[in-house]
Amino acid sequence: MATDSGAASTISWIHDGEERSARWRSINGSPAPKNVVLVDDSLTADDAYRLAAQGKAMLWHGDYHNARQLLSAMARRTPAGKKRDGEDVVDAFYRYRQARSQRARILGLLLVPLEPGPGVALRRAPDISQAWLGAAGEVHGPEVTPLQDVLGAIGAYEWRRNGLFVDVLDAKIHPHYGTFAPIRSEYLELVAQAPLPSTDLAFDIGTGTGVLAAILAKRGVQKVIATDSEPRAIACAQENIASLGLAGQIEPALTDMFPDGRAPIVVCNPPWLPGTPHTLLDNAVYDPKSRMLKAFLAGLPGHLEPGGEGWLIISDLAEHLGLRSREELLDWIEAAGLVVLHKRDTPARHPRSMDRSDPFFDARSREVTSLWTLGLKS
């Protein structure tokens, strides 16, 4: 069972006839499961999937590597939400998102115990201390978390440790947990190639890893204010900016959307798809009701210098999926008192745009990423 204890939730289970409890920890904010059963290496994948489908969480009390294998077996039993022949693309994508959400819920019910260190309190568990500290912080006592969260923290730590080489910077960017890695080079190249209206000042709205701010600084912009509403993103941007030797040019700022004042260049790369995010990383892909996109357009006139340019970097995948029309975007631009000065396009080059087995290959293969140069109405 789960109980609320102030800011933290506690879950309980029965072990050898006695009730045990631990603090609930979910990096992605999943609610504490109400029904928890203790399981071990004897549990089959079919039984695990059946329990999860019934809403029962399973606290693993066995070998760590066996738990990972069980999670993979459960994933293979989870419906993928493939597009049906002749199905409307909007309906298909909605169903796909539902299936992904259900899959995450099912897999999130296989739990593992944590202990101070931090570490996973299971046989043959790897050293997760640095990965977990980077993703979730200290563990001060017995805790329980989804195995998926542990694996996500480990994967993110590898991204952060190894870094991602960015061609236009000729350097590596090191994304932190929950901060989107700039794996698609086409939108970076658009920012690297667009003519600069000024080199005095720029705002980078929703900076994430700080990669766009770094590109602008490398191009000679003397000062870039890079904003984000997520503290982990600001910490990530600060680390990358320092490693690139750009701390003197870029100022990260923890704020929602715009900093005070106006600038001749205001850049924003909002999430490209309208939708509800289910994980921290989803926040970089899905924008509920296009909230950030609309906020950028509506706020841009109040933060753009006369004669300045707002750079909106966005893909048209939402249009091909039927989630947002081009007319809607143009209407929002006009309603904000803005005009389109220029638009630079580049076709998608990411692997999924060339994967014919992808259920939305038709939409992805036609995707175009654009840098919309916006100005104030005269």
Residue-by-residue DSSP string for 32-68: PPS-EEEE-TT--HHHHHHHHHTT-EEEE-SBHHHHH
How far apart, in whole angstroms, are the C-alpha atoms of residue 348 and residue 366? 8
Q: What CA–CA distance (Å, rounded) separates 258 from 105?
A: 35
Quote the radius of gyration of the chain (alpha carbons, Å): 23
The residue type at 192: A
The per-residue pLDDT for 162 is 94
The reported pLDDT for the residue numbered 4 is 43
Strands 304-315 and 368-376: antiparallel
Contact call for residues 229 and 162 (beta carbons, < 8 A): no
Phi-psi region of 40 (alpha: psi -120 to 50; beta: other; left: phi over 0): beta
pLDDT of residue 3: 47
Q: Which stretches of the chain score pLDDT less than 70? A: 1-8, 80-87, 280-281
Task: Look up the pTM and report it.
Answer: 0.88
CA gap 178, 36 in Å, rounded: 27
Amino acid at 57: A
Phi/psi at 311 (5° precision) = -105, 110
Q: How far is CA 64 from CA 120, 150, 203, in A?
A: 8, 11, 46
| pLDDT attached to residue 154 | 95
Angle between helices 185-193 and 211-218 (to 10 degrees): 30
